Each structure stands twice: as C-alpha cells, then as structure tokens.
Amino acid sequence: MTQFDSSTQVASSATHSQENSEPGGQQSTPNRVGIEIESTFCPTEAESPFDTTEWELRTAAIKGENGQLLFEQAACEIPAAWSQLATNVVVSKYFYGEIHTPEREHSVKQLIHRVARTISDWGVADGYFKTAEDGENFYRDLAWLCVHQHGAFNSPVWFNVGLYHQYGVQGSKCNWRWDEAKRDVTQPENPYEYPQGSACFIQSVQDNMEDIMELARSEAMLFKFGSGTGTDLTTLRSQKEKLSGGGSPSGPLSFMRVYDQIAGVVKSGGKTRRAAKMQSLKVYHPDIMDFIECKSREEKKARVLIEKGGYDANFNGEAYSSILFQNANLSVRLTDEFMEAVERNDSWTTRWVTDSSKAGPTYKANEIIDRMSQCAWQCGDPGVQYDTTINKWHTCPNSGRINASNPCSEYMFLDDTACNLASINLMKFRKPDGEFDVERFTSACRVFLIAQE
C-alpha cells in the first residue's frame, strides 16, 4: 500500500477540534476553470460502476479469542472478489445505522455510493468540475476504484460523509467549519452537513486550566467522529515547579490520566474501534523520567492482576482496563544535543517550563536512554521522535516548528492542523508481466487527491 495525505491548517486555534471545510457551499467563480475528468477506470458502456463486478450475499461475523460472537450481520451484499476479512471489517466498522433496523446499510453499494456521490456532488456544486459530465465521470471512476479495491479513504470519510446528504441524518451542534463568504469560523446547526473527514489531528495545549480542559473536550469530539489526535505536553509545567498563586502544579502526567480515560470511554466513530491518541514530551522537560516510566509501571500492575488475581490477559480485558495510560501512544522527542550527550556519556539537565534559563533535575544522559529502552522492551512505550531531524526536514519552517505528530506518527506538521489520508493498493497496478502501470497509478492518485481536496 502507499499512503498520501492532504494537509489542512485549521483556521483558528480556538476551534482546533474540527477541520475547516465547507463542502458544497460555494458557487463557481467566473475566473476559475473547472477540472476536466475523462473516464479512465469505469467502462463507458457500463450503466453503473457497480455493474462491473459480481456480487453475492454473505454473513459478516467477528468472534473473540474464545469463540464468542462479537458481531454478526447476515445477507450483506458484497463484491464476490472481496475476502471474508474485508467483508467483516467493512460491515462491522463502516456500514451506517443500528443493526437490525431499516436504516442499517446492508450493501457495499450503499456505502460507496453514499461517499462517492456526496463528494462528486460537492465538486459540481462548487464549480470544481468543468461540466456536470466531468463530475459524473469522477463519480464513476471514484466508485469503481473503491469497489475494485484499488484505493480507500481514511475511516472518518466512511463514518461520516454522506450521512446527511444521502440519508438526511441530523445531529446537534458540536463542530466548526470555515465559512468562505464570512471569512470566519462558524458552527453549523448539523455536524453531518459539514462532516469531519480527516483522520489525523495535531493539537496544542497551553499551560492554563482552561486550555488543558478544552483539549479534553476537543479530543472527545474528534474521537466521536472517528479521528485521532496527538499533542506535545512539554508546554505544561512540571509537578516540580510552582504555581503563580502558590502551591505545586499537577504536571503533565496528572492530566494524562484524564485524557487517557476520555480516550478509553469515547470509542472512535461510535464504533468498537479504539480511539487513537498520541502524547509526547521533549527530553528536556523536568518530568521526563516519570513520563518514560509511567506505562511500564502500569504494566507491572496488570501482570499482578493477571498472574495473582486470575484476570483475563486480553488487552480489552478487565486487567488492562483497570490501569492507566493504555489508550495512548507515548513518545519522547529527542534532540541532537541530547544524543550527543549520550555519546559523550555526559549529564543531561532539564529546564523549567516557566523559565527555561533555570535548571531542573539532572540525569546521566545514558541513564535516560537506558530507561527508555528498558520500558519500551517491557511494554512497547515510549517510542522515539527525533525532534531536531524532524524540524530540519520541515517543509514550512516559517509557519512554525513541528512539536507533535498524529498517533501513527506519519503526519508531522504544525500545531492545530489536520491531515486527510487515503491509501492506494499498489498490487492492483502490477501488470501481468510484472511491470508497474505508472499511468493508471497516476490517474488513480489524481482521482483520490481531488476527492480529498
């Protein structure tokens, strides 16, 4: 597979919980020439892109490790060429509606039409295509590519796009959009009219209680619509520092407990898929050792519950649901300066968040790297992000530095931005003689990139 993204900087940091899109809201401008689309994939003689493959009825079922039935939906209309695994994933995760109700989707045709038709109609309404015929060619090719497993959008597209435009689904006010006419951020009455389509968000947090709690709310809303989010917590003062009014601050780890519980409760897209979350801390933060060790300590608790208490060792079982920090990836952001200290076997001094000129706790640099390695061996975290190198490779350095990533770490960009992903199945472009069909691959990428935009 190859994966590419369409990145969008969020218009206002005050509204960074939602992406800034306004589909279908702008009419074409006189000086803009629309895109011409020639039908490349869907044969012109086919009445519909769905007529280009065989279909069959299947049962989608997912069972737990002990054989218990976790999900089942019968009589699902699926392309005959699809695997049972693809069937189970699409039906259980992406079909809209409460199961065993008339509103429930029962065919891949419904799912792909809902998404492809809505995106194509937006393009026509916005004057994105030169003619309505170009828009129809785009719809046919996009639907064909999805039906024949040449490409796929990120999950929030399948979760959210088309629910209002095809089914009239309504929701309460909870997201934001960019209003091109007003040149401002506004809150729509119905979130599904301006659906959240991006999977990857990076959010900032400031060192005050209002913003710390606002991040919790923003993360919950992103999880609700199926997206993931990452935040660097280095901006939060250490528990070893002082509050302006006296007393000691809670520190990043205390608030990580709150964020962790929210991620555990709010399932992604309202499905059984876990929320995706990343938290990072730069290596010069005074609480860095606690951050490195926090997940490993919790892992030890889980082992006691499993070995001594007889609790289920399944990751979704009660042992792991009883401990902290299980709903986020943790990464330490390392600098070249720190790595050079490791090479020299030097000490490493952290810095207060409130005054970086003041020294915090000092450790041996090798002690830090050793603890990171040991903890990662024990529980898989923390990961590593090379902060200096990441910012050396920054494509937009004048717009600000890169502080964080999305949960999977393939999206590294500015704070308070979002990224829309799609994937292309490279094996679909392998010719019988083993050569790669660059021309068809390029055409497929063009279709998906237009859809993402």
What pLDDT shows up at residue 2? 56
Say how far residue 110 (Cα) sits from the centre of its chain. Answer: 24
Are 395 and 403 in contact, with CB atoms under 8 Å apart? no
Interval 191-214: pLDDT, tens: 999 999 999 999 999 999 999 999
Token pair, residue 298, equals 């919790």
User: Residue 211 class from Cβ within 10 Å (0-12 exposed, 13-18 middle, 19+ buried)?
Assistant: middle
The percent of residues above 70 in pLDDT, for the chain, comes to 92
Phi, psi (degrees; rounded to nearest 5) at 241: -90, -165
Q: Which of 408, 420, 435, 439 is catalytic?
A: 408
With vertex at residue 377, the alpha carbon angle to CA 371 and CA 379, rounded to the nearest 5 degrees, is: 100
What pLDDT shows up at residue 26? 46
Catalytic: 88? no
**DSSP string spanning 313-344?**
-STTSHHHHTSSS-SSEEEEEE-HHHHHHHHH
Are 233 and 205 in contact, with CB atoms under 8 Å apart? yes
Is residue 175 classed as helix, strand or coil in its secondary structure? coil
Q: Which one-letter DSSP state was computed for residue 191? A: G
Sign for the CA dihedral angle at 48, 52, 54, 60 comes to negative
Catalytic: 410? yes
Tell the residue number behind the tokens 């490195």, with chain if given.
Answer: 292
Spell out, as residue ranges, where the chain has pLDDT lower than 70.
Answer: 1-30, 268-273
Q: Which of 410, 419, 425, 439 is catalytic?
A: 410
Catalytic: 337? no
What pLDDT shows up at residue 272? 54
Interval 106-140: pLDDT, tens: 999 999 999 999 999 999 999 999 999 999 999 99
Are 107 and 97 in contact, with CB atoms under 8 Å apart? no
Are 62 and 85 in contact, with CB atoms under 8 Å apart? no
Are 14 and 178 in contact, with CB atoms under 8 Å apart? no
DSSP-based helix, strand, coil % in the chain, nearest 5? 40, 20, 40
Q: Which of 88, 327, 329, 406 is catalytic?
A: 406
Q: What does the domain layout of the chain look like in residue ranges?
A: 2-185+421-452, 204-415
Class level of CATH domain 204-415: alpha beta
